[in-house]
């Protein structure tokens, strides 16, 4: 029986064989590697992945799809909302110090998934995700660019990222109304140690009124915190490099 894509799960199933092969080549799975796929759906990526790996763990929320996937004897199926999955526990279950994470992420919750994965980055080797192209543009954006914002800073602090593949709407069934792309995310081996919540808060304040100079937003917030260090607030939020936001978070925590 044909599975009907469910809007509430943001389901768009990959159907272009050429694109599927290109994504799998970009991931470059090796036999025996511990890989976890988010949202396997109709197994368009799952099957070529498992053929190279030998075994694959998948996370699927849709009960009907999870039932189908359990019939595949090379899959470990976790039937769950990915936002509730403890990836450190998954790695432990797989007896792996680190896991690789891949997937065609549901576009309606792609950003929450990216932030959910951040605390588990120490047990992740790399991540390859298909997302809305607009989101990936924001993830990899450089300062002084309209796409540069909170998402850029929070992810670039922790990952080296690369937009590796463009995916047109006609590659899916049903076709989404947006362009898609595939991003590669590799955690930095030695990131700057900081309080992620503090970085998230100050970045949120900075970009709350991105057209205004920072003295109106972040500057006032820093004054309230009693910050006495050096930070140029005569700029807009999008003009500040990631490294300066990171340094500010470190300085605030040490004050």
Binding residues for S-adenosyl-L-methionine: 12, 14, 39, 60, 81, 104
Binding-site residue set: 12, 14, 39, 60, 81, 104
User: Which whole-number Å values give the CA distances from 87 to 17, 123, 201, in the listed order?
Assistant: 30, 8, 24
Chain Cα centroid distance, residue 26: 16
What is the rounded CA–CA span in Å between residue 77 and residue 240?
A: 43
What is the rounded CA–CA span in Å between residue 42 and residue 135?
A: 24
- What count of residues does the chain have? 255
- Asked whether 133 and 152 are in contact (CB, 8 A), the reply is no
Task: Name residues whose C-beta falls within 8 Å of residue 72's C-beta, 6 or more positions apart in sequence.
Answer: 43, 46, 50
CA torsion, points 73, 74, 76, 80, in degrees to nearest 10? -80
The tokens describing 60, both together, are 């699927």
């Amino acid at each position: 029986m044909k599975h009907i894509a469910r809007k509430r799960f943001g389901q768009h199933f990959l159907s272009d064989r050429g694109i599927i092969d290109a994504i799998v080549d970009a991931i470059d799975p090796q036999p025996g590697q511990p890989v976890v796929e988010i949202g396997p759906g109709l197994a368009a990526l799952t099957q070529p992945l498992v053929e190279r790996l030998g075994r694959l763990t998948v996370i699927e929320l849709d009960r009907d799809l999870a039932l189908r996937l359990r019939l595949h004897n090379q899959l470990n199926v976790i039937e769950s909302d990915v936002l509730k999955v403890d990836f450190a526990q998954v790695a432990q279950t797989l007896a792996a110090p680190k896991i690789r994470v891949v997937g065609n992420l549901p576009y309606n919750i792609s950003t929450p998934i990216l932030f959910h994965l951040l605390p588990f980055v120490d047990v992740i080797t790399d991540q390859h995700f298909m997302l809305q192209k607009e989101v990936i543009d924001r993830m990899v954006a450089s300062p002084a660019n309209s796409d540069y914002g909170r998402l850029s800073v929070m992810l670039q602090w922790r990952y080296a990222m690369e937009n590796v593949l463009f995916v047109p709407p006609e590659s899916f069934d049903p076709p989404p109304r947006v362009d898609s792309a595939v991003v590669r995310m590799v955690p930095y081996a030695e990131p700057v140690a900081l309080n992620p919540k503090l970085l998230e808060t100050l970045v949120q304040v900075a970009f709350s009124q991105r057209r205004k100079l920072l003295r109106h937003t972040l500057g006032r917030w820093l004054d309230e915190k009693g910050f006495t260090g050096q930070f140029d607030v005569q700029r807009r939020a999008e003009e500040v490099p990631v490294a300066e936001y990171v340094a500010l978070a470190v300085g605030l925590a040490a004050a």
